[in-house]
Amino acid sequence: MEVRAVNKFTGISAQKTRLVLNEMRGKPAADALVILQFMPQKAAQDVAKTIKSAIANATENFGLDAEDLYISKIMADEAPTRKWRRFGARGRFKPWLRRSAHITVVLDEREID
């Protein structure tokens, strides 16, 4: 059974978030949270929040055991970019692009034979 959680409009670009996500793919959910706790990137906090939400969805809504869950899919898609203007010399302006991302986590239950 697949359980999803989505964190929308995070304040970090999708490119920076993917650097953190690539370390989490395929790991057990509890181990991923421990690893994220010690990562220095700011995106690690948002990814951990999304994984905790997916674990809570699995235990509360579907009655799954949190220790049997692993990360089957995890991705960061681009969200809308806020465009600000900073005025420069000679009547020009320099655009500031504030990028954001949508983080999606899909947990699945490990089959124990």
Q: Are 68 and 109 in contact (CB under 8 A)?
A: yes
Q: What is the pLDDT of residue 113?
A: 62
Residue 69, helix vs strand vs coil: strand
State the greatest distance between any 2 C-alpha atoms of the chain, in Å, as a whole number: 71
**Domain 14-78+102-109 = CATH 3.65.10.10:** no
Q: What is the pLDDT of residue 1?
A: 84
Band (pLDDT 50/70/90 cuts) for residue 97 is very high
Give the separation between CA 55 and CA 22, rounded to whole angstroms: 19
CA distances from 8 to 1, 67, 71, 100 (A): 23, 26, 18, 9
Q: Are 43 and 20 in contact (CB under 8 A)?
A: yes
Domains of the chain by residue range: 14-78+102-109
Of residues 112 and 64, more confidence is placed in 64
